[in-house]
């Protein structure tokens, strides 16, 4: 009898243990599911925010494209004297212009413009990507501008030559592209620039007359007053160009090629003349990838894609006229 009771007792204990075990595994399972679901929810939320942002950008660019189409319709309906008024307003804009880097040449509703000029510019090359960029431009029969730095290897020498041979503008960007050296003194700047100019002349047979200051004329790193450098450059018969549109490929934030195109398309509709800043370095694969869709979309809104030359409206952060 006593044995029976103790058997019954241990059986009861076993059952209780089994039930506890089951309870534990159910609770653990439920816990794991809750964690998985929470992680999924957070991931979905992040994705949602990302998509919302993307949608916002797309919406903005559709609106700007619509605005352009609207403007073009209005233009078509306006008087045949528009050409005259365009060149006048263009001059007016150039005069007052460059004071504000962003206000430059901005279209107003009253301004009638004949065509939208877009200058694609590539800084810091040549690089492993230069021939890819040149191939795309060649295929599309488009000329652009390369603000190059000094490299003396054979591959680079061929690329400078190819840029010139294929009708692009070979612009100077400095030989060393080392800000602390170039901007250490007026003499250092002079030496660097003349080194690049005579080097490019030797390699290509062409003397470049167009340049872009490393970091732009508005850079905050120069040890020398930029106005002194501008004064010097002007005296040398050089013309410098900054930019009014950044593709964004220089920022530390890694944009996708779609985003680079988007950045350009949202801005380009604001100006009659756009100088687009891009980079030709080995690390900038997205820039190469963005090029075909960018060209397609720019041509889609009727933009003319041109190389910088001496007829190009000056896009300068510090206007050359503001310097004696
Ligand atoms: Zn640069």
Confidence band for 100, pLDDT divided at 50, 70 and 90? very low
pTM of the predicted model over 0.85: no
* Residue among 187, 197, 196, 198 nearest 232 (CA): 187
Report pLDDT digits (tens) over 147-205: 999 999 999 999 999 999 999 999 999 999 999 999 999 999 999 999 999 999 999 99
Ion ligand 1, residue ranges at CB < 5 A: 123-124, 214
Task: Evaluate if residue 104 carries a pLDDT over 70.
Answer: no
Q: What is the mean pLDDT of residues 210-238?
A: 97
**CA–centroid distance, residue 118 to ligand 1 (Å):** 20
**CA–centroid distance, residue 124 to ligand 1 (Å):** 5
**CA–centroid distance, residue 277 to ligand 1 (Å):** 10
Q: What is the pLDDT of residue 115?
A: 86
**CA–centroid distance, residue 324 to ligand 1 (Å):** 26
Report pLDDT digits (tens) over 83-95: 333 333 333 333 3
- Secondary structure E strands in the chain: 117-123, 145-148, 169-172, 210-211, 239-240, 245-246, 273-279, 304-305
Q: What is the mean pLDDT of residues 251-256?
A: 85
CB-CB contact of 318 with 218 (8 Å): yes
- Strand-pairing partners, residue 275, are 119
Confidence band for 99, pLDDT divided at 50, 70 and 90? very low
Which of 73-77, 140-144, 164-168, 221-225 has the least mean pLDDT? 73-77
**CA–centroid distance, residue 123 to ligand 1 (Å):** 5
């Amino acid at each position: 009898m006593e044995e029976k009771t103790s058997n019954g007792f241990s059986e009861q204990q076993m059952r209780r243990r089994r039930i506890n075990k089951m309870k534990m595994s159910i609770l653990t399972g439920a816990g794991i599911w809750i964690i998985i679901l929470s992680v999924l929810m957070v991931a979905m939320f992040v994705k949602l925010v990302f998509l919302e942002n993307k949608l916002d950008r797309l919406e903005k660019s559709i609106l700007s494209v619509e605005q352009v189409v609207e403007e073009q319709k209005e233009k078509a309906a306006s008087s045949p004297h528009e050409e005259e008024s365009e060149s006048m307003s263009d001059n007016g804009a150039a005069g007052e212009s460059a004071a504000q880097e962003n206000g430059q040449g901005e279209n107003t509703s009253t301004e009638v413009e004949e065509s939208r000029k877009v200058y694609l510019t590539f800084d810091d090359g040549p690089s492993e990507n230069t021939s890819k960029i040149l191939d795309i431009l060649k295929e599309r029969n488009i000329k652009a501008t390369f603000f190059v730095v000094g490299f003396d290897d054979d591959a680079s020498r061929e690329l400078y030559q190819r840029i010139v041979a294929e009708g692009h503008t070979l612009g100077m960007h400095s030989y060393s592209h080392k800000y602390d050296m170039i901007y250490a003194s007026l003499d250092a700047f002079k030496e660097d620039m003349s080194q690049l100019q005579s080097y490019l002349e030797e390699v290509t047979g062409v003397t470049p007359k167009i340049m872009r200051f490393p970091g732009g004329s508005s850079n905050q790193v120069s040890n020398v007053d930029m106005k002194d450098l501008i004064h010097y450059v002007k005296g040398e018969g050089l013309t410098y160009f900054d930019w009014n549109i950044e593709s964004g490929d220089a920022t530390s934030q890694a944009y996708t090629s779609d985003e680079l195109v988007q950045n350009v398309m949202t801005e380009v509709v604001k100006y009659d003349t756009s100088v687009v800043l891009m980079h030709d370095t080995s690390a900038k694969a997205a820039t190469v990838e963005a090029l075909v869709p960018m060209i397609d979309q720019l041509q889609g809104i009727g933009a003319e894609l041109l190389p910088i030359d001496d007829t190009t409206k000056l896009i300068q952060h510090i206007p050359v006229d503001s310097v004696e």
